[in-house]
A and B are shown apart, each in its own frame.
Chain A
Amino acid sequence: MEDILILFYENREFIFLILVSIFLGIEIISNVPAVLHTPLMSGANAIHGVVVIGSIIIMLQADPTNYYALILGFLAVILGTLNVVGGFVVTDRMLEMFKKKAR
C-alpha cells in the first residue's frame, strides 16, 4: 500500500498527464466520420510506434559489454522502427487514394 502511495506521489505529474491524454484521445476520435476509420486506426497504429524510443534508451544506457541488453535492444529497435515506418507509409498510401481528383 505504502509503495503504491509513494508511486502515486512521485509520479503525480505523469498521472495528471495520463488522465488528460485519455480524455483527449476520446475527444479526438468521437468526431471521425466512418470513411476515415481505417486510416485513423492505421495512423494511430503508427503513433504507438513511439515505443521505439524506449528501445533506443535501452541501447544508450546499456553497458557495452552487456550483450543480453544489446542484442534484445537491437531487436527492439528493429521491431519498433518497423511499426513506425511501416505504419506511417501504409497510412499515407491509404490517404493518397482519398485525394480529390481534378475533373
Chain B
Amino acid sequence: MLNDLLGLSILELSYIVASITFILGLKMLSSPDKARRGNLIAGYGMGLAIAATILFKEEFSADKWLNYSLILAGLVIGTVIGTRMALKVKMTAMPQMVSFFNGMGGACAGVISLVEFDHLRHGGEISAGMLIVILLGLIIGSVSFSGSIVAYGKLEGKIADKALPAGQFINISLLLALVGLAGYLAVSGDLSMPLMYTLLVLSLLYGVLFVMPIGGADMPVVISLLNSFTGMAAAFGGFLYGNQAMLTGGILVGSAGTILTVLMCTAMNRSLTNVIIGSFGGGGTSAAKSGEQGTVKEIGITDAAILLAYANKVSVVPGYGLAVAQAQHTVHNLEKILEDKGVELTYAIHPVAGRMPGHMNVLLAEADVPYPKLLEMEDANDDMANTDVVLVIGANDVVNPAAENDPGSPIFGMPIIKVWNAKNVIVLKRSMGKGYAGIENELFFHPKNRMLFGDAKDSLEKLIGELKNL
C-alpha cells in the first residue's frame, strides 16, 4: 500500500515538474539566447513524464510482458525514425517537417479515442461527458492528421492546390454532418463501432478538403492552426485520463498556437473564419485589374552591380523564392562584398514572407547573417526613404502596392514592405509569373522599379562576379 502511494506520488510529482518544464521551455523559446536551452528543458521534462508513466502508472505485473515490450518497441521505433527524419531534412523543408510531425501527434490522439471508445463498449463506465471528450479527441485528432499530411504534401510540391467546385458548400455540409453524427453518438447511448468509424472517415475527409484549396500564402496559418488543433486533442486525452502533464502540455500549445494563428491572420489581413471555411480569395477579384499596366523595365547585371556598388544603403527583401533557389549563402556573400565597399546592407523581413512566420530568419541564420541586420517590417519601412537600392529576391505579394491602393485585391489591407519609397528597386525574378496569392503585382510596372530576370542564385552570383571586377 505504502509502495503504491509512493509510486503514485512520484508519478504526480513528475507530471508537475514536466508541466513546469513545458511552461519554462515555451517561455525560453521566446528569447534568442535561451531558446535552445528552453527546447532541451522541455524535452527533458517530456522524457521524465514518459518514464514516470511507464514505471509508476500501473503496478508491474509479469502477465503484461507483451504490453511492456510493445511500449518499449514503440518508443524505440518512434525515436529512431523521428531522429533520422529530423536530422536528414533540409533547412528549407523545415515547415513541412513540422507539419508532418504534427500530423503524427494528431493521429496518436485519434487512435487513443478509438481504443477508449471500444473500452467503453466493453463494460467501461459510460458518462456522457467522457463520451464527448472521446468523440472530440477523435474528430480533432483526425482532422489534424489528414490536414497536416495534405499540408506536408503541398509544401513538398506533391499535391497541387485544388479548389473543388462548391467547395465551401461541401465543407460546411461535412462539418454539419460531423457535428450531427458526434451529437447522436454522444446522446443516443448507441455505442456502435460502424458509426464511430464513419465519424473517423468523415473527420479525415474534412481535414483533406479543409487544407486542399488553401494556397501557398496561407500555408503558415494552416500549419499553425493544425498545430493548435493537435494541442487541443492532446488536452482532451489529458481530460480523459485525468492526466496533468497531458492537460497542461496540450492546452498551452492549443492556446499559444491559436494566438500565433490569429497574429498571422492579422498580418495577412485574413479572417480566421475565412481560412477555416477554406477558400482563398482568388475568385471574382482577378478581373478587377489587368488592363492598365505600364511597361516593365529590365536591368542588366552590370548596371545593377554599379547601382549597388555606389549606393550608401541597400535593403534586401527576401521571400520564398530565396528559399527555393537556396540562395541564402549567396546573398550573404553579396552582403560581405558590398560591406567591403562601404555599402550598408540590411534585410527587411516581412512577418509572413516564406512558408512560416520567421521562415526567412531561419534561412538567413543558416547562412550566418548576423541578427542586427534583420529588420522587422515596421523598422524597414521607416528606413525606406533613406535607402538607395532595394533588392527584392523571390518575394512578391509582400511588396505588392495593391495591398494599399486596390480595395478589390484579395490582399488589400495586408501590411507590406513599401519598397517604392526607396530611390531604386530591383526585383530579381524568374519570370513575370504571379505570387502565391495569384494576383498581378503593380510594383513591376512602377517607374522606380527594374527587373533582373533569371534564377535568384544565378543572378546573385553574376552580381558578385561583376562587383569583384569593379
Contacts and interface: CB of A to CB of B under 8 A. Distances in A.
Given A51-B246, A90-B101, A73 B94 contact: no
* Most chain B CB inside 10 Å of its own CB: which residue of A23, A58, A89: A89
B104 A92 contact: no
A7 B127 contact: yes
Interface residues of B, number: 115
Interface in B4-32: 18, 22-23, 25-27, 29-32
Contacts of B191: none
B252 A83 contact: no
A72 B254 CA distance: 25
Interface residues of A, number: 84
Interface string B364-380: 01101001001010000
Nearest to B105: A83
Interface string A70-85: 1011111111111111
A73 B115 contact: yes
Contacts of B385: none
A26 B259 contact: yes
A80 B77 contact: no
A13 to B, nearest CB: 9
A30 B50 CA distance: 29
Contact of B227 (A28, A45, A77, A86): A45
Nearest to A65: B66
Contact of A28 (B57, B65, B97, B252): B252
Contacts of B190: none
A62 to B, nearest CB: 6
B251 A22 contact: yes
B231 A44 contact: yes
A103 B87 CA distance: 27
Nearest to A25: B255
Nearest to B61: A64
The interface centre, meaning the residue of B50, B66, B67 with most chain A CB atoms within 10 A of its CB, is B67
A11 B239 contact: yes
A30 B78 CA distance: 33
A23 to B, nearest CB: 8
B46 A80 contact: no
B251 A18 contact: yes
Nearest to A38: B358
B260 A3 contact: no
A74 B74 CA distance: 6
Interface string B23-46: 101110111110110111011001
Most buried by B among A48, A53, A62, A74: A48
Interface in B235-254: 235, 237-254
B35 A36 contact: yes
B374 A35 contact: yes
A78 B72 CA distance: 10
A37 to B, nearest CB: 3
Interface in A13-69: 14, 17-18, 21-26, 28-62, 64, 68-69
23 contacts: A7-B129, A18-B239, A18-B247, A18-B251, A25-B254, A28-B26, A28-B256, A30-B259, A34-B349, A35-B32, A40-B256, A41-B260, A50-B234, A54-B238, A55-B112, A60-B67, A72-B115, A76-B74, A78-B74, A79-B107, A79-B108, A84-B82, A96-B36
Nearest 10 pairs between A and B by C-beta?
A81-B78, A77-B74, A7-B129, A25-B255, A37-B357, A86-B82, A50-B249, A37-B358, A89-B86, A85-B82
Interface of B: 18, 22-23, 25-27, 29-33, 35-36, 38-40, 42-43, 46, 49-50, 53-54, 57-58, 63-68, 70-71, 73-75, 77-79, 81-83, 85-87, 89, 91, 94-95, 97-98, 100-102, 104-105, 107-109, 111-112, 114-116, 118-119, 127-130, 223-224, 227, 230-231, 233-235, 237-257, 259-260, 349, 351, 356-359, 361-362, 365-366, 368, 371, 374, 376
Given A34-B358, A82-B104, A85-B83, 9 more contacts: A21-B248, A21-B251, A46-B39, A48-B233, A68-B115, A76-B107, A94-B362, A95-B35, A97-B365
